[in-house]
Chains A and B, each alone.
Chain A
Amino acid sequence: MALNTEKFISQVNDLSAQGNLHTEEILVNMGPQHPSTHGVLRLVIQTDGELVAQAFPQVGFLHRCFEKIAESVTYRQVVPYTDRLDYIASMNNALAYVLGVEKLMQIEIFPRAQYIRVIVAELNRIASHLVAFGTYGLDLGAFTPFLYGFRERELILSIFEELSGARLLYHYPRIGGVAKDIDAKIAADIRAFIKTMRRTWPEYNALLTENQIFIKRSANIGVISAENAISYGLTGPCLRASGVAFDIRKAQPYSSYEKFDFNIPTGQGTKGQVCDCWDRYWVRMCEIQESLKIIEQALDSLPEGEIRAKLPAVLKLPAGNVYLPCENPRGELGFFIISDFQPKALRIKMRAPSFCNLSIVNKICRGVLVADVVAIVGSLDIVLGEIDR
């Protein structure tokens, strides 16, 4: 049920112009300490009762000087810092950075390492989308899906723990390869996870996706047209939900993504308009299935060989600059690296997908209800760690 907000606002304005009704807008600070701003985001919301007139996102509460630190440590030492940017998808961050460095160095990576990178990146994409699934349910008041999502994410974390020794910040992709090989046990674990995930995925839909209250809360809310999505620089599931089938894994394949067969799920407007909150949510759910397909193919055709190239102890990149975009769970992530043939980078600039995705909040939060702001911000699936860096 769409709310005829413009009519309502004009009626209120008419009444107050006649002096019959005195209404005042309230300025509400949503955050930085708020249960559903996904971190330390501060939203300044101008409200007229329950109606939102404006919502200004204020960022910077989690600023940790990543880009400055990256200039003062060596290329290899930057990798653990990238883990801490989008801490939900550490593998994908580190992968984007090492790919950029390797492109500037113009070194070839062993095929086995490339495949392993694809496997861990896709596993982490699933883990990230499971968190998005769970927290989106949480934003809309459903608590149980959150723990269901975390139950399956736990399996991925255990696999990563076997691989890298850490459960959240892995430091697993290294410049020139990966830290550890996938042995038979880990491969079996991954296959078992694929089986579990395929079994539980319909459970999620029965619990949340097809729930009538959930559909009423998320369909037709926060609609982003394809033009708006492109002009605001949206990438990832938010862009694909608008109906634009743009995925860097297909458009500019890296790390041998071109060898795998997978689809790009796009928003179809199944429950409402194209690219409402439900569509963005559903694109992520479909991407879990696509990622499972990729992992399965990569495991089946995992080439034999080395996993790490021999590189000099002190890395000096050739002078020049590079930008290599990668498909993060949240969108296009790329590191712009300027090198002047020193052990340290002259400048590293990060293009954070969440930062660009967040920029559309004020555009789509006008005239919605306070509860919808939570639904919209949740559907954009932002991580403050990479917005503030």
Chain B
Amino acid sequence: MNDFIQSLFGPNGVNVWIAPSSTWLLATILFTGAGIVVFVWVALMSVIGTYAERRVAGYMQGRLGPNRVGWFGVLQPIADGIKLLGKEDLIPAGAAKWLFRLAPILVFCGVLIPYAALPFSPRLVVSDMAVAIYYILAFEALEVVGVLMAGWAPNSKWSLYGGMRLAAQMLSYEIPMGLALVVIVLFAGSLNFQQIVAWQQTPMMGIEDPNILGWGIFRSPACFVAFFIFFIGGLASAKRAPFDLPEAESELVAGYHTEYSGMRFAFFFMAEYGAMYLVSALTAILFLGGWYGPLPLPEGISPASLVELWNTNTAGQESFWSACQAFISAPVVLTTAGAELIGFINLAGKALILFFTMIWIRWTLPRIRIDQVMHLCLKVLLPLSMIAALGAAIQIVIMN
């Protein structure tokens, strides 16, 4: 059974630690631990995201932004979190109580579950799945269900409008986003992130190590178009301005989370920032080289998995501590660890630049109307993404 899981999941990630002889208990403990780490990362992103959002907005608007709690106001999001914890948990009269309670959980899960397949560096991934892109797209759709529940359950008209708008918006933008992914998948020949990034490292037009030039976005005109389609679709699915009309405060008060307060509201909030980082990281991995470039990765990285590295470098050691020492001092382990760190910086840096771009767009542009959102998706992005996918297919046939 464990063999089967490993064959499904691929050569990296937590699943590697589950030896074929180990028990289900160990697998459960490992995956729970990884889940907690990812949860903390999402919470961290929402903390950094709120702080950055408010400071950047302040800077753009010629004002200060939060600067009272902690050094330059860095503790402001934590203060906000504590405030939200202390808020009364209101359930409106006439609400469908269980749907109302379930909705924030589903929305947050819809953002958290895709993180299981999202790599943070070459090897730092909960599970390196063979069908990672497919998995992420599938579980992102869970958020739509949660938002529809949040729209329906509180028995409020504003919520209903917000929920309906979001369902229409997210479902339609998944199509051009999916087709933009097809372009990359066609070129890379895989749904696995490791192989997609490896494709971006392959020599291009005679250059052995193309670095930035080798990124997916520069590989083909189709990829260039697909990048923008994917990022716009990502903005729409993360409900960021100018596509924030499900929660448009000037029209729908607060859209689908109008009636939510306290921690239930905080979960919607965390889900938004989690989704922002998810979309940014996905864009960075698929189109901007992932952990490859602009900082060069060191030479001599071992392609072996962590378990294999441990086994080869600690062979012949008697005690656990000496094995650890041998493992840490082995040159191949050091370069691989360095590559992990540089890869993490590369990927997180690019993702955070895209994250900043989202904030920048939000504080610059007005909001689009619902019919214009649909018009943009179905009459502009969808044909464009189809042409891009077709162009990619033709290019591959001609080049081969």
Q: How many residues of B contact A (CB 8 A)?
A: 31
Q: Identify the stretch in B1-9, B207-215, B245-253, B325-333 within 8 Å (CB) of chain A at 4 or more residues.
A: B245-253
Within 8 A of A (CB), among B350-366: 363-366
Kindly state whether residue A35 has any CB partner on chain B within 8 Å. Answer: yes
B253, A213: Cβ atoms closer than 8 Å: no
Q: Which residues of chain A come closer than 8 Å to B63, judged between CB atoms?
A: 147
Q: Identify the stretch in A175-183, A250-258, A369-377 within 8 Å (CB) of chain B at 4 or more residues.
A: A369-377
Q: Which of B244, B365, B375 contacts A213 (CB 8 A)?
A: B365
Kindly state whether residue B86 has any CB partner on chain A within 8 Å. Answer: no
B366, A142: Cβ atoms closer than 8 Å: yes
Kindly state whether residue A314 has any CB partner on chain B within 8 Å. Answer: no
Q: Which residues of chain B come closer than 8 Å to A1, judged between CB atoms?
A: 371-372, 375
Within 8 A of A (CB), among B242-269: 242, 244-245, 248-253
Q: What is the bound-complex CA distance between A374 and B251, given in angstroms?
A: 7
Closest to B63 in A: A147
Q: Which residues of chain B come closer than 8 Å to A140, judged between CB atoms?
A: 250, 366-367
Q: What is the bound-complex CA distance between A312 and B360, given in angstroms?
A: 61
CB distance from A26 to the nearest CB of B (A): 6
B366, A213: Cβ atoms closer than 8 Å: yes
Q: Mark A27-38, 1 if CB is under 8 A from B, else 0.
A: 010000011100
Closest to B158 in A: A28
B366, A141: Cβ atoms closer than 8 Å: yes
Q: How many residues of A contact B (CB 8 A)?
A: 32
Kindly state whether residue A138 has any CB partner on chain B within 8 Å. Answer: yes
Q: Which residues of chain A come closer than 8 Å to B245, judged between CB atoms?
A: 141, 371
Q: What is the bound-complex CA distance between A309 and B158, given in angstroms?
A: 56
Q: Tell whether A370 pairs with B251 under 8 Å between CB atoms, given A141-B241, A141-B244.
A: yes
Q: Identify the stretch in B54-62, B110-118, B341-349 within 8 Å (CB) of chain A at 4 or more residues.
A: B54-62
A50, B363: Cβ atoms closer than 8 Å: no
Q: What is the bound-complex CA distance between A148 and B363, given in angstroms?
A: 12
Kindly state whether residue B43 has any CB partner on chain A within 8 Å. Answer: no
Within 8 A of B (CB), among A13-71: 26, 28, 34-36, 49-50
B interface residues, Cβ below 8 angstroms from A: 57, 60-63, 157-158, 161, 164-165, 241-242, 244-245, 248-253, 363-372, 375
Q: Could you jot down 17 A-B contacts, CB within 8 Å?
A: A36-B250, A50-B370, A137-B366, A141-B241, A141-B245, A142-B364, A142-B365, A142-B366, A144-B363, A147-B62, A147-B63, A213-B366, A213-B367, A216-B368, A216-B372, A217-B366, A217-B372
A interface residues, Cβ below 8 angstroms from B: 1, 3, 26, 28, 34-36, 49-50, 137-144, 147-148, 151, 207-208, 211, 213-214, 216-217, 369-372, 374
